[in-house]
Amino acid sequence: MNFKSTEDFKATNPNKFFNDLGGMRKKLKSELKMPSMDEVKSWFA
């Protein structure tokens, strides 16, 4: 997940971002609550 601008972020596929977010959360052993797919999609709207 390497974003240099908000345009880069908005151009990302929300499904891929959701999966990458879950992988990053697992890799870092984060105990933060995983957002729902609908929440993530709303970030791209």
Q: Is residue 1 part of a domain?
A: no
Q: Is residue 26 part of a domain?
A: yes
Q: Is residue 22 part of a domain?
A: yes
The one-letter amino acid at 21: L
Domain that holds residue 34: 6-43
Number of domains making up the chain: 1
Distance separating alpha carbons of residues 28 and 45, to the nearest angstrom? 27
At 36 the pLDDT is 97
Per-residue pLDDT tens listing for the chain (45 residues): 788 898 888 889 999 999 999 999 999 999 999 999 999 999 988
Q: Is residue 25 part of a domain?
A: yes
Distance separating alpha carbons of residues 19 and 1, to the nearest angstrom? 11
Q: Is residue 27 part of a domain?
A: yes
